[in-house]
Amino acid sequence: MAADWALRAPLLAALVVLGTTALVVNSMPVATRPVSAATHKAHRHKVHLRKGKKPAPTAATAPVVPGSVTGAVTEPHAHDPCGLSLAATAVSAPVGQCTVLEIGDSLGNDLGWGLQREVSPGSGLRLIQMDKSASGLANTSFYDWPVQLAAYLRQYHPQLVLISLGGDDEQGMWVNGSAVQFPTPAWQSAYRDRVRQLAREATASGAYLLWVGMPVMQPPNYSQGVELLDSICRTVVPTLPNATFVSTWTLFANPQGAFQADAMVNGQSAVLREQDGIHYSYIGENVVATYVLRELAQIYHVQIAPRDPAVITAWQ
């Protein structure tokens, strides 16, 4: 029996490690990164689509446009080696040595893979990608993000935390021992608390927070639920110091505001989303990564440019 366990233990450890995407860019061989469309398919993790009852109507919100909303500024990085600053008077300067921790679900994976390709090796940004497919803030028994984030903050000491979550949160959750159903007022209140908790945890470490919102989705009921989640994050995150929310909702919507899977990217016809109408395609990953890097440069007053920019130039 002891011999059998000695053989099984390494296998079990390997399976645990494989449960989470953990990629450190610029300190690992390029060959280990998913840099091609073929490799992208091999690394794809699908979100679990929550089907069912249509979300209840919610109060009208302001139109969602691509862009950023920033909370109060307390400038925690007087000694910041990477030079990020939210001060309105800051002058754009070259980025220094900066550790960026990116966390999220399978859509976070998509963003992280795009950033791997778009972050230049000599940019000064050290990207650490720690995503977990099918995770979120609703089901903490599956994956407890506050606990995981605390461990990552202690390990990596990032100057900037990127968060992309919400694709798996259209489900009931336990609150103080009671089950609350999505998207009741009680559920929405509890979800706001969880968004606030995770955001505060990131900024309390001394890091800036950039919360990247969800894009418009193809399945109607699912998309309406994601829009609700997105509106909660867009409302809560900017209330915290050194926290910024970046919307991508209409970045991937056509001029009529509807989901569209294909467009012209850099003047060429391209497919932006996977067949499920949820995840980004390989090119879509590059588009959202290009957008986020440009937002990062503008928000934090640093000079950094995408390696191979991918921009939607027209809708087909």
Lowest mean pLDDT among 85-89, 163-167, 172-176, 270-274: 85-89
Q: Answer whether residue 41 shows pLDDT above 90.
A: no
pLDDT at 80: 66
| pTM, to two decimals | 0.83
- The whole-angstrom separation of Cα 312 and Cα 132 is 28
Q: Is residue 79 part of a domain?
A: yes
Q: Is residue 37 part of a domain?
A: no
Q: Is residue 214 part of a domain?
A: yes
In the sheet where 160-164 sits, what is the strand order?
A: 21-24, 125-131, 98-104, 160-164, 208-212, 243-247, 67-70
pLDDT at 72: 66
pLDDT confidence tier of residue 14, bands split at 50, 70 and 90: very low
Number of domains in the chain: 1
Q: Which domain holds residue 289?
A: 19-28+60-314
pLDDT confidence tier of residue 132, bands split at 50, 70 and 90: very high
Query: Could you tell me which residue, 71 or 62, shows the higher pLDDT?
Result: 71
Query: Could you tell me which residue, 72 or 296, shows the higher pLDDT?
Result: 296
Q: Is residue 4 part of a domain?
A: no
pLDDT confidence tier of residue 3, bands split at 50, 70 and 90: very low
Q: Are 100 and 160 in contact (CB under 8 A)?
A: yes
Q: Answer whether residue 64 shows pLDDT above 90.
A: no
pLDDT confidence tier of residue 65, bands split at 50, 70 and 90: low
Pair type for strands 243-247 and 208-212:
parallel
- Average of per-residue pLDDT across 289-297: 97
Q: Is residue 38 part of a domain?
A: no
Q: Are 94 and 83 in contact (CB under 8 A)?
A: yes
pLDDT at 113: 97
User: How many residues does this entry show for the chain?
Assistant: 316
- The CATH number for 24's domain is 3.40.50.1110
> Measuring CA to CA, which residue among 45, 19, 60, 53 is closest to residue 171?
53
Distance in Å from the first CA to the final CA of the chain: 63
Q: Is residue 72 part of a domain?
A: yes
pLDDT at 18: 43
pLDDT confidence tier of residue 92, bands split at 50, 70 and 90: confident
pLDDT confidence tier of residue 27, bands split at 50, 70 and 90: very low
Q: Is residue 270 part of a domain?
A: yes
pLDDT confidence tier of residue 24, bands split at 50, 70 and 90: low
pLDDT at 147: 98
pLDDT at 76: 53
Q: Is residue 298 part of a domain?
A: yes
pLDDT confidence tier of residue 195, bands split at 50, 70 and 90: very high
Q: What is the mean pLDDT of the chain?
A: 84
- The whole-angstrom separation of Cα 305 and Cα 123 is 8
Q: Are 272 and 218 in contact (CB under 8 A)?
A: no
Q: Answer whether residue 28 shows pLDDT above 50.
A: no
Rg from Cα positions in the chain: 19
